[in-house]
A and B are shown apart, each in its own frame.
Chain A
Amino acid sequence: MERPVTLNINGRSHTVQVEPRALLVHVLRDTLNLTGTHVGCDTSQCGACTVLVDGQAVKSCTTLAVQAEGTRITTIEGLARGDTLHPLQMAFWEKHGLQCGFCTPGMILTAVDFLAQNPDPTDDEIRHAIEGNLCRCTGYQNIVAAIKSAAATLRAGNAGAAA
């Protein structure tokens, strides 16, 4: 029943045996021990399980592991460059964009994809972009502030790189 699948995660290739029905989130968490990706619901509402698949924010609870073969997956564990935090991670820390932290990995990865598409968003655009990610602790206010501040950092960095 199980079949081998090769997944490229955070720049490393893993070949694992999975049942065809296995969800990507369970393979990440249970088989590969990447427990930074969380499960908060069973109806694809909460976004706690969000990972990047080829740069796109995807709910890994709604993706079969076998579907992810041949893609490049980034989880929260793979977002920092060594000891250097990603600007979004830094901004969530600085702006107090998290309390219990359970929604945070998914929230950050959703924002990574969003800022790639919209580097200079308004508060309103941010609020809509994270609509698929629920947070029960923060009331979202500091998450919005964090994403906005990271956007500025990323823009400055890109401008620097272009110059």
Chain B
Amino acid sequence: MATLFGSGIKRREDPRLITGQATYVDDVKLPGLAYAVFARSPYAHAKITRIDVSAARQAPGVIAVYTGADVKDRLVPVPCAWNVPNCDLKIPAHPLLAYDKVRYAGDAVAMVIAETRAQARDAVDLVDVDYEPLRATADPEQATQPGAARLHEEIPDNIGFTWVVSGGDAAAAFQHAEVAVSQRIVQQRLLPTAMEPRAAVAQYNRGSGQLTLWATSQNPHIHRFLCSVMLKLPEHRIRVIAPEVGGGFGSKIPAYPDEALVSFAAMELGIPVKWTEDRSENYKVTIHGRDHIEYVEMCGTRDGKITGIRTRVYAGLGAYASTAAPGIPTILHGLVYSGSYMIPNIHGTIYGVYTNGTPVDAYRGAGRPEAAYLIERLVDIFARKIGMDPIEVRRRNFIPKDKFPYTVATGLIYDSGNYEAALDKALGILDLKAFRAEQAKARKDGRYLGMGLVSYIEICGLGPSQVAGAVGFGGGLYDSAIVRVYPTGVVKVYIGASPHGQGEETTFAQIVASEFGYPVENVEIIHGDTDNTPQGWGTYGSRTTAVCGSAVKVAALRVKEKAKLLAAHLLEANEADLEWKDDAFRVKGSPDKAKGMAELALMANVAWNMPPGMEPGLEATAFFDPTNFVYPFGTHICTVEVDEQTGQVKILRYIAVDDCGPPINPMIVDGQIHGGVIQGIGEGLQEIAVYDEEAQLVTGTMMDYAVPKASQMPHIEVAHTITPSPVNPLGVKGCGEAGTIASAACLVNAVCDALAPLGITHIDKPLTPARVWAAIQKAKGATP
């Protein structure tokens, strides 16, 4: 039993999921339910000169039609909640329904409510809008150029902010450097593609004035707050329920107009209203990720010491500033430019740029994969330039394991790490010598084999609330848990975080059951309903286990503390003479005199014989606010063969060594790594959201956007090192984003290594056959 923490037990959420008994938002049915469908702009940028909804209003089954004019004075525009300080951040209004101008293809102009989904869909076709198309661009660099289309009147150059990160003296470092390398890097737009599209069901009780909103949310408490702002409805009148949620990857963090509008309709009409995105709509209006154009440089010495890194980044924001958007390419990106290395001089200028694309926000890793990618690419390019093995360059610059906590040039304090151990472990699994020999032989035969390696760090376990406040994040970043012990001893735990596939119903039960000496079946984890869970800040940023899991642990310990006092009282022993052994408090020296948690729970709940002054009941609440972020790390290695004739990249092996502290459930940790790695390989190999010159999303369906398929993806060899974090009582670090942060860079490094004989140092991801082939042709001097 003592080993429950750390054991790969089966997940407790699975039985309902594998039998079709789970309830996702679109599964929610209510009597009299009506359906909402949105009329959306086909243009990426246009003036609205006229909207006529009279025909739509007359259509069969239609209950109501709302336009921007109907709601603009009654509802508050979608808030942006990350007010990054020390820059000139401009946040233009994001109306819930566009009324004067549309700024991206998909901007909603009207909402139709009808008795059935099909009727609402039919009526949307009758919404008649006259548009006067304007020039448009979805390219964040182009959008800053003179003469580019202007999205928001008040922002003439489309630059939403210029943010600078600086540590040491990068200008001097570059000026005196023995070697410097530079590269233009495009980190393409990605479509998060949670398999469950977003949905909302709103029900309003006019009698009680209570709104219930079922929403596909990673953070129901944040949604409650933001909906309260948009709807001008007091927060305690809103109950947000995130039932089963089918994946998020960041896309279910932000506030969107849709949920607020559906709530508004339910309040206006006094009937429940449901809206469910279809996939094409999801690709158009649910946030996108990445979208950077970067000019990056690294300098150092001939013997491999990195002395500086410098960047200029155009980070696309899309048409409006989504909830966390300003913080992603700044706080979560620029501050981690040191990676795993001691880089004394860092300078980055980040432009957040409005474009006529879908808003960009947090997508798995959020800012940190972009940072890891540019650092790890630069290390390889730098190593090539000085003729040193990139592995050796990494070793020479790693922060040594005895230097933690370590303050990097950007000011972050890394909690703990042992980067070389992860590197050595990964190299051991690979058998580097054997691979290099195989590669050399293949090269003689005219075949292109390559090996890519990435030693990443990430910043996770977001984070201390004080830091959240200091960096302009519009909320706290603690989390919470109530551990409630029933009279029969079984436990319910109500948590603030809101998992949606990460398995915390299992891992958190493991934490409590381990503490109480229980089988895991005795503990149930409740999440996702703001009416019965304490304030939490959501599941993202690999924070749930590190922060909310710690709250669970602290609450469980509080319960145990009280139980111990009660045990002492009942055993007529001194508290100091009691010890917790196996599954009970026992009197030292006479272990048969014992009280287990179940018995103590009964006695506490009936309160027949309490110590003087002790309150009845057995439960505790904890709000856990960490003292620092956690910094997981690891080394990934990928080997590939590139087909010179077709440009096809074949992954031969993928090795992931990650350190996320002690795993509570190794099976679940490995699952997170698998999923993350494949998402990053998708990014490296095939995923790209393409816009045409008119800022129309060309990859608007799953037919065109290359979500990885099983047959295209490799088997991943997973291993771990374990370096506990000192900043939380579990010692855990988080593993949800690790895979994605490492894998895209790893893949590109491998392909560039394979093509090194041709002199190729960089190809922008995704490495589709066409791109790789073109690079090969160019290197050979042919015109592709």
Interface residues of A (CB under 8 A from B): 19, 21, 26, 29-30, 33-43, 45-46, 48, 75-77, 79-80, 85, 89, 92-94, 96, 98-105, 108, 123-124, 126-128, 130-131, 133-144
Q: Is the CB of A100 within 8 A of B500?
A: yes
Contact with A along B673-687 (1 / 0, CB 8 A): 011111100000000
**Across-interface contacts of B10 in A (CB, < 8 A):** 93-94, 96
Q: Is the CB of A101 within 8 A of B711?
A: no
Shortest Cβ distance from residue A49 to the other chain B in the assembled complex, whole angstroms: 11
Contacts A127-B710, A141-B715 given: A101-B19 contact, CB under 8 Å? no
**Across-interface contacts of A34 in B (CB, < 8 A):** 20
Contact of A143 among B195, B246, B710 (CB under 8 A): B710
Q: List 11 A-B contacts (CB under 8 A).
A: A39-B276, A96-B670, A100-B245, A101-B17, A101-B22, A102-B246, A123-B715, A131-B709, A136-B194, A137-B195, A138-B674
Q: Is the CB of A136 within 8 A of B279?
A: no
Q: Is the CB of B715 within 8 A of A101?
A: no
B502 nearest in chain A by CB position: A99
Q: Is the CB of A136 within 8 A of B249?
A: yes
Contacts A42-B280, A136-B195 given: A77-B19 contact, CB under 8 Å? yes
Contact of A76 among B14, B19, B674 (CB under 8 A): B19
Contact of B713 among A80, A104, A140 (CB under 8 A): A140
**Across-interface contacts of B14 in A (CB, < 8 A):** 92-93, 98, 101
Alpha-carbon distance A99/B117, docked complex (angstroms): 29
**Across-interface contacts of B670 in A (CB, < 8 A):** 96
Alpha-carbon distance A135/B11, docked complex (angstroms): 18
Alpha-carbon distance A141/B656, docked complex (angstroms): 14
Shortest Cβ distance from residue B473 to the other chain A in the assembled complex, whole angstroms: 26
Contact with A along B1-35 (1 / 0, CB 8 A): 00000000011011101111111101101000000
Interface residues of B (CB under 8 A from A): 10-11, 13-15, 17-24, 26-27, 29, 117-118, 193-197, 244-247, 249, 276, 278-280, 500-503, 667-668, 670-671, 674-679, 701-703, 707-711, 713, 715-716, 739
Q: Is the CB of B195 within 8 A of A75?
A: no
**Across-interface contacts of B244 in A (CB, < 8 A):** 100-101
The 10 closest A-B pairs by CB, nearest first: A36-B20, A102-B246, A101-B17, A100-B501, A139-B678, A139-B674, A76-B20, A99-B501, A45-B702, A35-B27
Other A-B pairs beyond A46-B702, A123-B715, 8, CB < 8 Å: A41-B701, A41-B702, A96-B667, A131-B709, A137-B671, A139-B677, A140-B674, A142-B674
**Across-interface contacts of A108 in B (CB, < 8 A):** 18
Task: Give the most central of B279, B667, B675: most A CB within 10 Å.
Answer: B675
Shortest Cβ distance from residue A136 to the other chain B in the assembled complex, whole angstroms: 5
Q: Is the CB of A140 within 8 A of B710?
A: yes
Q: Is the CB of B671 within 8 A of A138?
A: yes
**Across-interface contacts of B709 in A (CB, < 8 A):** 131, 134
Shortest Cβ distance from residue A63 to the other chain B in the assembled complex, whole angstroms: 17
Alpha-carbon distance A127/B709, docked complex (angstroms): 8
Q: Is the CB of A77 within 8 A of B713?
A: no
Alpha-carbon distance A33/B196, docked complex (angstroms): 18
Q: Is the CB of B195 within 8 A of A40?
A: yes
Contacts A134-B702, A141-B716 given: A100-B18 contact, CB under 8 Å? no
Q: Is the CB of B711 within 8 A of A128?
A: yes
Alpha-carbon distance A26/B171, docked complex (angstroms): 62
Q: Is the CB of A35 within 8 A of B716?
A: no
**Across-interface contacts of A134 in B (CB, < 8 A):** 195, 702, 707, 709
Alpha-carbon distance A79/B15, docked complex (angstroms): 13
Q: Is the CB of B195 within 8 A of A102?
A: yes
Q: Is the CB of B21 within 8 A of A101?
A: no
Contact of B18 among A19, A21, A104 (CB under 8 A): A104
Q: Is the CB of B245 within 8 A of A98?
A: no
A77 nearest in chain B by CB position: B20
Q: Is the CB of A102 within 8 A of B15?
A: no
Q: Is the CB of B23 within 8 A of A45?
A: no
At the interface, is chain A mostly helix, strand, loop or mixed?
loop
Shortest Cβ distance from residue B7 to the other chain A in the assembled complex, whole angstroms: 13
Contacts A93-B18, A102-B247 given: A38-B196 contact, CB under 8 Å? yes
**Across-interface contacts of A99 in B (CB, < 8 A):** 247, 501-503, 671, 675
Shortest Cβ distance from residue A75 to the other chain B in the assembled complex, whole angstroms: 7
Alpha-carbon distance A79/B713, docked complex (angstroms): 29
Shortest Cβ distance from residue B598 to the other chain A in the assembled complex, whole angstroms: 27
Alpha-carbon distance A133/B709, docked complex (angstroms): 8
Alpha-carbon distance A79/B118, docked complex (angstroms): 30
Shortest Cβ distance from residue A134 to the other chain B in the assembled complex, whole angstroms: 5
B672 nearest in chain A by CB position: A99
Q: Is the CB of A98 within 8 A of B17?
A: yes
Contacts A89-B19, A96-B671 given: A43-B703 contact, CB under 8 Å? yes
Shortest Cβ distance from residue B260 to the other chain A in the assembled complex, whole angstroms: 23
Shortest Cβ distance from residue A146 to the other chain B in the assembled complex, whole angstroms: 10
Q: Is the CB of A136 within 8 A of B247?
A: yes
A135 nearest in chain B by CB position: B195
Q: Is the CB of A102 within 8 A of B20?
A: no
Shortest Cβ distance from residue B35 to the other chain A in the assembled complex, whole angstroms: 10
Shortest Cβ distance from residue A70 to the other chain B in the assembled complex, whole angstroms: 24
Q: Is the CB of A136 within 8 A of B503?
A: no
Shortest Cβ distance from residue A82 to the other chain B in the assembled complex, whole angstroms: 11
Q: Is the CB of B675 within 8 A of A38?
A: no
Contact of A85 among B11, B18, B501 (CB under 8 A): B18
Task: Give the most central of A26, A135, A141: most B CB within 10 Å.
Answer: A141
Task: Give the most central of B29, B194, B500, B671: most A CB within 10 Å.
Answer: B671
Task: Give the most central of B19, B245, B679, B701: most A CB within 10 Å.
Answer: B19
Q: Is the CB of A101 within 8 A of B702?
A: no
**Across-interface contacts of A36 in B (CB, < 8 A):** 19-22
Alpha-carbon distance A79/B19, docked complex (angstroms): 8
**Across-interface contacts of A140 in B (CB, < 8 A):** 674, 678, 708, 710, 713
A141 nearest in chain B by CB position: B674
Alpha-carbon distance A131/B503, docked complex (angstroms): 25
A88 nearest in chain B by CB position: B18
Alpha-carbon distance A151/B501, docked complex (angstroms): 25
Alpha-carbon distance A105/B707, docked complex (angstroms): 19
Shortest Cβ distance from residue A46 to the other chain B in the assembled complex, whole angstroms: 6
A147 nearest in chain B by CB position: B710
Contact of B702 among A38, A43, A98, A103 (CB under 8 A): A43
Q: Is the CB of A139 within 8 A of B675?
A: yes
**Across-interface contacts of B500 in A (CB, < 8 A):** 100
**Across-interface contacts of B13 in A (CB, < 8 A):** 101
Q: Is the CB of A136 within 8 A of B668?
A: no
Alpha-carbon distance A100/B702, docked complex (angstroms): 19
Alpha-carbon distance A37/B390, docked complex (angstroms): 49
Q: Is the CB of B279 within 8 A of A42?
A: yes
**Across-interface contacts of A75 in B (CB, < 8 A):** 20
Contact of A136 among B502, B675, B677 (CB under 8 A): B675
**Across-interface contacts of A79 in B (CB, < 8 A):** 19
Task: Give the most central of A85, A103, A124, A135: most B CB within 10 Å.
Answer: A135
Alpha-carbon distance A40/B708, docked complex (angstroms): 15
**Across-interface contacts of B710 in A (CB, < 8 A):** 126-128, 130-131, 133, 135, 140, 143-144
Contact of A40 among B117, B196, B713 (CB under 8 A): B196
A19 nearest in chain B by CB position: B118
Q: Is the CB of B501 within 8 A of A137?
A: yes
B17 nearest in chain A by CB position: A101
Shortest Cβ distance from residue A74 to the other chain B in the assembled complex, whole angstroms: 11
Shortest Cβ distance from residue A36 to the other chain B in the assembled complex, whole angstroms: 2
**Across-interface contacts of B22 in A (CB, < 8 A):** 36, 101
Alpha-carbon distance A76/B439, docked complex (angstroms): 48
Shortest Cβ distance from residue B294 to the other chain A in the assembled complex, whole angstroms: 26
**Across-interface contacts of B701 in A (CB, < 8 A):** 41-43, 45
**Across-interface contacts of B702 in A (CB, < 8 A):** 41, 43, 45-46, 134
Alpha-carbon distance A30/B10, docked complex (angstroms): 32
A33 nearest in chain B by CB position: B29
Q: Is the CB of A102 within 8 A of B24?
A: yes
Shortest Cβ distance from residue A152 to the other chain B in the assembled complex, whole angstroms: 18
**Across-interface contacts of B675 in A (CB, < 8 A):** 99, 136-139
Q: Is the CB of B279 within 8 A of A40?
A: yes
